[in-house]
Structure 1
């Protein structure tokens, strides 16, 4: 074989970035930890070999693509970096699971037990791979299958056929269990996913034990609903602290449990959060497939509030892909659906988080993302600003959603940066740090670090930006996932 040739494309992007080899290595390692690729350990000599022509293994090409895209505010493909795009999925990634009640219970029980045991030593997620593309979408489409024939799910069908109940849970105990899920959800919204994740996983494992026995059909349905909500919450909390493969695993299992409960609206919420995760990971096409599946599967059952949520995430996915007209259309549909909400109509607790503040926040982020996708267009940045300001104003009045308040302050900072307003950006980010030190959300911390790095890249000499960087380094050290209790 001939000698490797220097990678001139990667070198050109690297020189333009202004990063040192050590800084790029540090960012690659940090991003790898965020997506659960704990085996990645890069240093300056490794970066030098990439520039000299060595092709790094997955997931590093995708990580480099994401980092340079964020640095320059426009899409930098793997091929643009002179690297080969390779498949990052593995056959054993674990999302194509049997749609069977007993197997769903067993898989949830086994996985939650492993989570509780292995996370004590920091091993959780190292054996998992994030699944994307066709390998993710096709198994999720099977969520729709029961609706095609109208038959009940297997466990509920067995209960209706006369199996003698042997379960030991009473009505008041089941009520208490359901109220506990509501309490966990409130804790997460206020304090971040890192504070009560293990408690949620432990409760999930206990509910799986209950499902080993037989009950009357309505009790079985409610237990599966509770299981689905706990698994979804475990996934959401894992996502919030950057454990993406584990989050995806919980989401998939939650969708299976929601199917057993016959709960289409909640299944749509799970798919919506899977969409949100794909947007976060810059996989817009996968995000769009997931949200369309959620919309189709709940078309006859979703309330206006749930429909509005799905439309805003559809808009986010289109913004991620740079589809301007489709993004605007979805954002308008979200606003129209939100106006259809009747305050007197009963709704489940799990959708109550989607407020006017969330609607404004998601649409503002869509417009901001369009600015990035269109070469930092001021048109979209200016459109984002008043909508983001409204979201920040509403969240400032809501002590129960501190994490969302912080995330939108960071979003406001990014909009100021797009408009070359570093002092205003630093001020918004400082407010977010005030919240970040009180909660435990690696998602908040990561976005603060990324926004600060972006500010330093353009406005390194601005004193407010310097002070922000000093405070980030002092008050938000790298997150240790073993702290997630």
Structure 2
């Protein structure tokens, strides 16, 4: 964080936009040096001198900094430090009239390397959720499109079919064609902006933008690009709001809350979900939001609220018209309810019941949801660590790591690495030395 009363140094802003503290940033620099077969002595204290004391990094260290910030080396002029450090974009497009296209374009521009993205403050996300819950969407274009060749039914149908195929692709396969998702969303955004459609087709285009934004956000999230992911979810929220799809809007807010919990900010997650639940309509959607709320409340140590949210999710799951379940939560099953309930109980200290639920849910998960299985397996490893069963925990963590590396799931790899420090207390347990060795770099 920047020193109180002082504008942040450009490096501070760029580092925090990457979600790195000074120690993590120093570690990333040392890894950049090792990739060149060299060594760097940069540590947390050195980074602080650069940011607070005005010390200029030497030319070699600046090349390592550039690599960590993903700045091409030809754009680095050591003499101009810190002018070459990319600026940081901040904030979210407020919900309101004519905000859909600006929000979509901001998300689509997040991969511009000349501008780094800071994390959107949790308070801003809660305010955005409150604005969504308390605001009726503005009317879309009338049945009098703008001048020019109108967008026809066949075009929108083709876009919908293409989006459906992209969204249905297995998670581990999406990484191979990730640019296609952005290109497809960019074309839909252009069509929305041009305004040459009737109101019914406009609703369909906005719904397409919302659904595809959600998919792209999850691709970014799975690869650790958190600031970009949040902007895609926000763009989807604007699109869903304009299309008057309240359940889809709740889904996108729920995803932002999931991200907040993942980044150890359960207060923000709970604040978002509490507001999102005010406008959620389908029981299946409400069940998922209550389950995610339970996870946030458990992390906050709120036992009674957690158990109440779990009970509500269990009561709602499977109710309502099964043919009307929103696609974005149609995957939710008793397996998900069991594992996430178990994880919440684990946070509350009920390790025995937590382990039972996680094991039951993992066993019931369909084979097609392989990434989710990997995440669940890391939860299982954590549930074994709580009662002091390092052998079982190491076996589960190793299985999750193997699976994550095979399917290309960086988020699951990150979960395993987060558990590794806890294995240090069991250096001689079966499987632990091998796991520590594999995760040492």
TM beyond 0.5: yes
Unaligned residue ranges in structure 1 (runs of 5+): 1-30, 57-89, 372-379, 478-485
Aligned-residue offset at 1:447: 0.5
2:426 to 436, 451, 459: 459
Contact 2:101 2:189 in 1 (8 A): yes
Contact 2:398 2:435 in 1 (8 A): yes
Q: Which has the higher contact order (CA 8 A, sep 6+)?
A: 1
Aligned-residue offset at 1:326: 0.8
Q: What is the match of residue 124 of structure 2?
A: 135
Q: What is the match of residue 400 of structure 2?
A: 432
1:8-407 to 2 correspondence within 5 Å?
A: 35=19, 41-42=25-26, 46-47=43-44, 93-97=90-94, 99-101=96-98, 103-109=99-105, 111-113=107-109, 115=111, 118=112, 123=113, 127-147=116-136, 153-154=138-139, 156=140, 158-160=141-143, 162-163=144-145, 166=148, 168-188=150-170, 190-191=171-172, 194-211=175-192, 212-298=194-280, 302-343=281-322, 345-371=323-349, 380-395=350-365, 398-407=366-375
Distance 2:258 2:388 in 1: 28
Contact 2:18 2:118 in 1 (8 A): no
Distance 2:147 2:348 in 1: 55
Contact 2:17 2:119 in 1 (8 A): no
Contact 1:95 1:249 in 2 (8 A): yes
Distance 2:286 2:311 in 1: 12
Distance 2:401 2:110 in 1: 34
For the aligned residues, what is the CA RMSD? 3.1
* Partner-residue secondary structure (3-state), 1:230: helix
TM-score for both structures, normalised by structure 2: 0.78
Distance 1:435 1:34 in 2: 26
In structure 2, the CA distance between the partners of 1:427 and 1:177, relative to structure 1 (3 Å rule), is same
Aligned-residue offset at 1:94: 2.1
Distance 2:316 2:425 in 1: 39
Contact 1:275 1:290 in 2 (8 A): yes
Contact 1:112 1:201 in 2 (8 A): yes
Q: What is the match of residue 445 of structure 1?
A: 413
Aligned-residue offset at 1:40: 6.5
Contact 1:225 1:258 in 2 (8 A): yes
Distance 2:235 2:249 in 1: 11
Aligned-residue offset at 1:106: 3.8
